[in-house]
Structure 1
Amino acid sequence: MNGNIWVGVLAFLITLVGMPPLIKFLRQSKEQAVIRKLGPDHQAKAGTPSMGGALFVAAAIIATLVMPSSYANWASFTWTLTLILAMGSYAVIGGIDDALKLINHADDGFAFKPKLLAQTLSALAVLVLMWALHLPFVITLPWLGSVNLGIFYIFFLWFWLVGWSNATNLTDGLDGLLTGCAIVVYGAYTWIAVIRHNPSIVTFNVAVIAALLAFMIYNHPKAKIFMGDTGSLALGAGLAIESILLHASISLLWFGLIFVIETLSVIIQTLSYHFFKKRVFPMAPIHHSFEKWGWSEWQIDFLFWGICLVLALTGVHFIY
């Protein structure tokens, strides 16, 4: 436990101390976020640097690797390596996406197909690593226990990593919104990791949460820096892979219900407009609808964070 405290302190300090120089560098380099023209009126945020996720992801990984218990034995090594590969590879994809937006001065980076291909290749890399490390290809379902999916595990892992990384990416539309939600959901899985006696995931999550808490100092409304796709894709991939490693993958549908709702709002809005030329919501993802209804970013943040907290508390109490 004392070791994890120091891991958290290190991740927090790296992010806290490193963020101001990063913000200054990005401003001087004019590496600033492009505000979507089709979104709500966020022109006041124009010029805010993006790609802050690169620092908190790096801080979490560095702090985790400093902890000797992260690779003290074979089991710890396999879990730590898998977590770092999943989060790190999707952070790289997000970083490329962010860089393309900045280079092209557009609100779209990766085209859909190349981005999906990159996410698929990252999922396959994680799959190969899990196979090489002899991690079991099973999922645990309510009332059914462990289910061996065989060859279908490939499709499940792909869907889980790609789906959740994109879900958290869609949620990252307001200052501090995803940061706060991610802190709560990672906190829920930290508790489950404690219950499941998985110290590697506990250490990793302590590092992630501490880094996010430091990032929140710069990311709360009005944000001094955005996490960008670098951070949002990485956070979703991290949650997806550790829910699998903890044999609690389906629980992410509950803990991450906010991310599910955000994604469904986009899907429903897109289908409704495509087929019926009508919009179900004033704007999607749904957090932008709350803006249209006159809510401030702080009000939306507190509502969504509160929902996440209730889901986390009820989930760990009733499910585990």
Structure 2
Amino acid sequence: MSVVLDFLLGMVITALLMPITIKKLKQSKEQAVIRKLGPDHQQKAGTPSLGGAVFVLVALVVAFCLPGTYANGTAFTTILTLAVAIGSFALIGAVDDVLKLARHADDGFAFKPKLAAQSLSAVVVMLLLWSLHVPAILNLPVFGVVYLGYFYVIFIWFWLVGWSNATNLTDGLDGLLGGLAVIAYGANTVLAWQAGSWSMVSFNFVLIGTLAGFLIFNLPKAKIFMGDTGSLALGAGLAVESILLHAVISLLIIGLVFVIETLSVIIQTVSYHFFQKRVFPMSPIHHSFEKFGWSEWQIDIAFWSVGLILAVIALLIF
């Protein structure tokens, strides 16, 4: 019953704050700039961004106000680790979003400074995991437990930066990332319940609640976008949860849609750079479906359905 209250608390607070945020952003004239190189989304011009700042902030504040967070040392350190990962990557995204708004452009952080900031956040999370004595292991099918030793440093960096950028690339259509994130965090919640990590279960119910409150205003046609603030934070949170649960392989299945979105960008970039040919009509791959004539609702439902099937498969396997 308490997790239902966690969910409702996150959803209701976010749903109440979102109209206020939308109104304030519209009054300030600080609204998202639509990418000129992307598909024709000019009808979305003037839609406020920074919705991710609301649901991330609500999730973190509510999580630290829950009594269960302080039930024991393990519960607190789990929430603290998630908060540092999600909060630090949200901050990077917020700087990116604010720069876009200030410049009235579709790009904020340059690639190198953004990567440097993400790397610094990954190092902070890494040091926190080390201080909490999280073992440097991967639990792999067939191979069993694999000790990474010093390679754990490289893995943590790759995992956090990779997943934060994967969810960031997926955030290109109204409601798409929000719905997929609800499914992915829902699957992680089941894994956390099986592992007895009740603090993570509680946190995830709060976060899923805030995402539900946000989606009320983000489904097609969106009244507000989450921006990089939300998309980077969601990927970092998924990555850290998989590390804490020793379930990194399961995340590759649960989050396979994010992986495919990222691969489509890499393949398209390499193909065009070296051969001047495009493999896809447009990347990330969700934009290709727009080129095929699919509506945003059709793409959302198709991608959510695939994400849900993958999550069920992962849970059945692990």
Give the superposition deviation at 1:60: 1.0
Whole-Å Cα distance in 2 between the matches of residues 108 and 285 of structure 1? 16
2:181 maps to 182
Report whether the alignment pairs 1:49 with 2:48: yes
Q: Structure 1 residue 140: deviation in Å? A: 1.2
Q: Which residue of 2 aligns with 1:151?
A: 150
Comparing 219-228 with 308-317, greater Cα deviation is found at: 308-317
Matches within 5 A, 1:30-45: 30-45=29-44
Residue aligned with 1:150, SS: coil
Equivalent residue letter for 1:86: A
Distance in 2 between residues matched to 1:121 and 1:242, nearest whole Å: 19
The residue type paired with residue 92 of structure 1 is L
TM-score (structure 2 length as normaliser): 0.98
Deviations 1:179-230 (A, max 9, x none): 0000001000100111111101101110111111111100000000000000
Q: Which amino acid aligns with 1:26?
A: L
Decide whether the 8 Å contact of 1:8 with 1:63 is kept in 2. no
**1:262 to 2:271 alignment:** no
Query: Which residue in 1 is equivalent to 2:59?
Result: 60
How far apart, CA to CA, are the structure 2 residues paired with 1:22 and 1:145?
Answer: 48
Instruction: Give aligned pairs, total.
Output: 318
CA drift of 1:147 comes to 1.7
Of stretches 115-124 and 71-80 in structure 1, the one that deviates more from structure 2 is 71-80
Q: Quick one: distance in 2 between partners of 1:199 and 1:306? A: 27
2:246 is the alignment partner of 1:251: no
Query: In the aligned structure 2, how far is the partner of 1:187 from the partner of 1:269?
Result: 31
Deviations along 1:75-113, whole A, 9 cap, x unmatched? 111111101110110000000000011111111110001
Q: Does 1:242 align with 2:221?
A: no
Deviations 1:138-195 (A, max 9, x none): 2211122222211111110000000000000000000000000000010001001111
The amino acid that maps onto 2:43 is A
Aligned to 2:92: 93
**Partner amino acid, structure 1, of 2:135:** P
Kindly state the Cα deviation for residue 71 of structure 1 after the two structures are TM-superposed: 2.3
Q: What is the aligned partner in structure 2 of residue 26 from structure 1?
A: 25
CA distance in 2, matches of 1:209, 1:279: 37
Q: How many Å separate the matches in 1 of 2:83 and 2:234?
A: 11
Question: Is this contact kept in 2: 1:83–1:242, CA < 8 A?
Answer: yes
For residues 13-72 of structure 1, the C-alpha deviation after alignment (integer angstroms, 9 at most, x for no partner) is 110000000001111111111100000000000000001000101111122112111121
- For residues 251 and 314 of structure 1, what CA distance do their matches in structure 2 show? 9
Identity of aligned residues (%): 64
The separation in 2 between residues aligned to 1:264 and 1:133, in whole angstroms, is: 33
Q: Name the SS of the counterpart of 1:164 in structure 2.
A: helix
Residues 7, 66 of structure 1: 8 Å contact kept: no
Q: Aligned partners of 2:157, 2:199: CA distance in 1, in Å?
A: 23
RMSD between aligned alpha carbons?
A: 0.8
Supply the distance in 2 between the matched residues of 1:3 and 1:126 (Cα, whole angstroms): 29
Q: C-alpha distance in 1, partners of 2:139/2:259?
A: 20
2:284 is matched with 285
Task: State the secondary structure of the residue aligned to 2:145.
Answer: strand
> Residue 315 of structure 1 aligns with which residue?
314
| Cα distance, 1:9 vs structure 2 | 1.5
The residue that corresponds to 2:296 in the other structure is 297
> Structure 1 residue 251: deviation in Å?
1.2
What secondary structure, in the 3-state scheme, does the structure 2 residue paired with 1:261 have?
helix
